[in-house]
A and B are shown apart, each in its own frame.
Chain A
Amino acid sequence: MALKVPADLEKEIDKRITHYPESKRSAVLPVLHEVQSHFGYISEDAVVWVAKKLELEPIRVLEVVTFYPGFRQKPVGKHHIRVCRTLSCAMAGSAELMEEFCKKAKIDRSKVSHHDPIAVSEDGQYSIEFAECLAGCGTGPVCMINDDFHEEVGTDKLEEILKNCD
């Protein structure tokens, strides 16, 4: 089934492509970001659509999607949580943070990994993964929920953070 791209999204994508006068291929990442932020993930149909848009073979798009941890091939929860796992945040307690997030968001902790697979709660509200250094080492542990960055996330703050998501 072909991907249905709304006109305003396509307009934004066309604008992004103009930023690369030398090579349309350079627009692969920005176009994929637009697609992912609209659809939530990058489906096979989306790969084909982007390839056609940029006059590339689909494999040239797929190889990019599978390489970068910033792109997902499956849907995530309405609120996608990324907990920093790297040293400074780990020293500040990001492992405990992950445990508590899973409990509060009702996510099966044993399904949590680095990006693949991404664990999603049964109601589809929340999903969670470990991310590598989010560049907030001075105020760890840090996490991102969708596009929002949260610092010094003590386990006591979780209830409020999750409530404010909605």
Chain B
Amino acid sequence: MAKVKYIAGKEPHAKEHRMIFRNVDREGWDTSLATYQKEGGYKQLAKALKMEPKAVQEEVKAAGLRGRGGAGFPTGVKWGFVPPNNTKPVYLICNADESEPGTFKDRYIIHQDPHQLIEGLIISAYAVGAHLAYIYIREEFPEGAQILETAIEEARKQKFLGKNVCGTGFELEIYVHRGAGAYICGEETGLIESLEGKRPYPRIKPPYFPAAMGLYLCPTIVNNVESLCHVKHIIDMGADAYGKLGTPRNTGTRILCVSGDVKKPGYYEIQVGKVTMGELINDMCGGMKEGRKLKAVIPGGSSSKILRADEKFTLKQGDKDVEIGIEDIPMDFDSLMACGSMAGSGGVIVIDDSRAISWVLNNLNTFYAHESCGQCTPCREGSAWMKKITDRIVSGNASPEDVDTLESVAYNIDGKTICAFGEACSWPTEAMVAKFRDELIGDTDGKNAKRPVSKETQEAAKNLKSLTT
């Protein structure tokens, strides 16, 4: 039983609305079933089991829950894609591969409140008719995997799992499956391949939509950790009350993970769309570091397109188009999309004026070059070249034309690959070149160099130069 380490000064901010994170960093809380049940744990499961599975699905659909993993797709609608005449077993997979740079919310749910996830998972399995569920957890959470296995064992002893869940005749087993350090396993079809014991090469859609042809070619639902936790709260509150949290079409709460150049990085659970980017950075995160100004924000995990501090965006408010600045963007799915980026996985990376964009981009391109699975040529080759070109730019060994080449490589990946990794790896380059072209060109000759360049990058750039000159 893991005790929660209570951290003073990490009390929720007044603008937060803690629901999923209610017990995170909470004094006296631990991961045991007894503690969870003391506060009404597993009562929602009992409530859900009294409903028809279809009714649970309808409730989640009516609540407007959108997936918290990155795409923001409505969870209830996804569940409805299991073919109605299906005779095969249905599987439910919890995607706990949390690996989008900038995102660290699932870590805290798993390590500090595992039963919340398991209860949400059991209710969801009941709703979609699954009798076997897997939690695919990233390898880098070994303690988390153990905590979950202990929690599952406790739940099994109390008959919340097994052949006869709560005496209703519903049968369910949950197993924890550990990944092995590959980002691509967060992509749902890659995850399924990995769970089948293979290299995680994503499958092409169509025909391999998981809800129809997923794990072992059976209907499979893959949901993010946070999304599954929300299901429990929807059953608790009812769709109507849940739908009143947040804003229409962007309901409920969501956890924003803030990192980078702010005074108080960390996790903040807000009602979706009820907090603006400015409130998040300036109030909740204590503002920028001393003497620093905001330069840009990557608003939804490393793949989301960067927003410049001085950019103007047009949002629809009622019937009118309104022009706003970066600090006025409401933190919700639709607004960030309208601003040309996305809410993604909720990972907000704040960048101040001391950072060179070439350095930021080079860091991300190194990540994507390392994580491309190699199945599709445009992505495998392109991600490696984007890294090499930014190695050269950041170390001041490039020519201004390299910036154009970089951009053209990115546009030759985007939309030309089996899975969305193609977009994920090219969007940072596309957006940073479009919005910081002059700065990148200015960096190519190394005269403006003020950024730290790692030894690996210097070496790589040297080798590259000798190949091309």
Residue of B nearest to A16 (CB): B175
**B: number of interface residues (CB 8 Å):** 58
Contacts A26-B196, A132-B367 given; indicate if A88 touches B452 (C-beta within 8 A): no
In chain B, positions 157-179 with a C-beta closer than 8 Å to chain A are 175, 177-179
Q: Is the CB of B366 within 8 A of A85?
A: yes
Q: Which of B52-60, B98-106, B118-126, B436-444 contacts A (4 or more CB under 8 A)?
A: B98-106
Whole-angstrom distance from the CB of B175 to the nearest CB of chain A?
4
Interface residues of B in 199-218 (CB under 8 A from A): 199-200, 215-216
Minimum CB–CB distance for B94 against chain A, Å:
14
Q: Are B360 and A23 neighbours in the complex by a CB distance under 8 Å?
A: no
- Identity of the chain A residue whose Cβ is nearest the Cβ of B216 in the assembled complex: A22
Q: In the bound complex, what is the Cα–Cα distance between A88 and B257 (angstroms)?
A: 11
Q: Which residues of A contact B101 (CB under 8 A)?
A: 86-88, 132-133, 137
Q: Is the CB of B177 within 8 A of A29?
A: yes
* Contact indicator B181/A140 (Cβ below 8 Å): no
Known: A137-B259, A149-B143. A87 touches B180 (CB 8 A): no
The reply to whether the CB of B223 lies closer than 8 angstroms to some CB of chain A is: no
A8 to B175, CA, bound (A): 21
Residue of A nearest to B268 (CB): A138
Per the bound structure, the CA–CA distance linking A90 and B257 in Å amounts to 17
CB distance from B97 to the nearest CB of A (A): 10
Task: Flag if B181 contacts A69 (CB, 8 Å).
Answer: yes
Is B432 an interface position by the 8 A CB rule? no
Q: Are A68 and B143 in contact (CB under 8 A)?
A: no
- List the count of A-B residue pairs having beta carbons below 8 Å apart: 147
CB distance from A35 to the nearest CB of B (A): 12
Q: Inside 8 A of A147's CB, which chain B residues have their CB?
A: 142-143
- A23 & B199 in contact (Cβ 8 Å cutoff): no
Q: Which residues B74-103 have CB closer than 8 A to chain A?
A: 98-103
A124 at the interface (CB under 8 A from B): no
- Whether A5 is near chain B, meaning CB under 8 Å from some CB there, is no
- In whole angstroms, what is the CA distance A22 to B355 when docked? 51
Shortest Cβ distance from residue A107 to the other chain B in the assembled complex, whole angstroms = 13
| Residues A23 and B197 in contact in the complex (CB < 8 Å), given A86-B302, A137-B347, A149-B143 | yes
CB distance from B93 to the nearest CB of A (A): 12
User: Separation in Å of the A99 CB from the closest CB of chain B?
Assistant: 9
Expressed in whole angstroms, the minimum distance between the Cβ of A82 and any Cβ of chain B is: 8
- Residue of A whose beta carbon sits closest to that of B361: A87
**Could you tell me the distance between the alpha carbons of A85 and B261 in the complex, rounded to whole angstroms?**
16
Are B367 and A70 neighbours in the complex by a CB distance under 8 Å?
Answer: no
Q: How many residues of A contact B (CB 8 A)?
A: 47
Interface flags, B103-139, vs A, CB<8A=1, else 0? 1101100000000000000000000000010000011
Cβ–Cβ < 8 Å partners of A54 in chain B: 197
B27 is an interface residue with CB less than 8 A from chain A: no
Q: Which of A68, A110, A134 contacts B180 (CB 8 A)?
A: A68
- Judging by beta carbons under 8 Å apart, are B103 and A33 in contact? no
Is B260 within 8 A of A88, CB to CB? yes
Binary contact track B237-279/A, C-beta < 8 Å → 1, others 0: 0000000000000000000011111000111000000000000
| Complex contact A87–B364 (CB within 8 A) | yes
Query: B140 in the interface, Cβ–Cβ < 8 Å?
Result: yes
Task: Give the chain A neighbours of B140 by CB distance below 8 A.
Answer: 70, 82, 131, 134-135, 144, 149
A87 touches B199 (CB 8 A): no
Interface residues of B in 340-369 (CB under 8 A from A): 347, 349, 351, 355, 360, 363-364, 366-367
A52 sits at the interface (CB 8 A): no
Instruction: Using CB atoms, name the residue of chain B closest to A61.
Output: B197
Report Cα–Cα, A85/B104, bound state, in Å. 15
Please, what's the 1-or-0 string for A67-82, where 1 marks a CB less than 8 Å from any CB in chain B?
1111100000000001
Partner of B196, one of A23, A63, A87, A114: A23
A64-B302 in contact given A87-B349, A91-B260, A140-B259 (Cβ < 8 Å) = no
**Cβ of B182 under 8 Å from chain A:** yes
Identify the closest chain A residue to B369 (Cβ): A114
Q: A135 touches which one: B138, B175, B216, B371 (CB < 8 A)?
A: B138
Q: Is B198 an interface residue (CB 8 A)?
A: yes
CB B361 to nearest CB in A, in angstroms, measures 10
Query: In whole Å, how far is A112's beta carbon from the nearest beta carbon of chain B?
Result: 8
Contact A23 B175, CB 8 Å, known A29-B180, A87-B101: no
A-B contact pairs, 5 of them (CB 8 A): A29-B178, A63-B198, A63-B199, A85-B367, A95-B454
The 10 A-B pairs of least Cβ separation, nearest first, read A70-B180, A68-B180, A70-B181, A28-B197, A137-B259, A88-B259, A25-B197, A69-B181, A70-B139, A19-B175
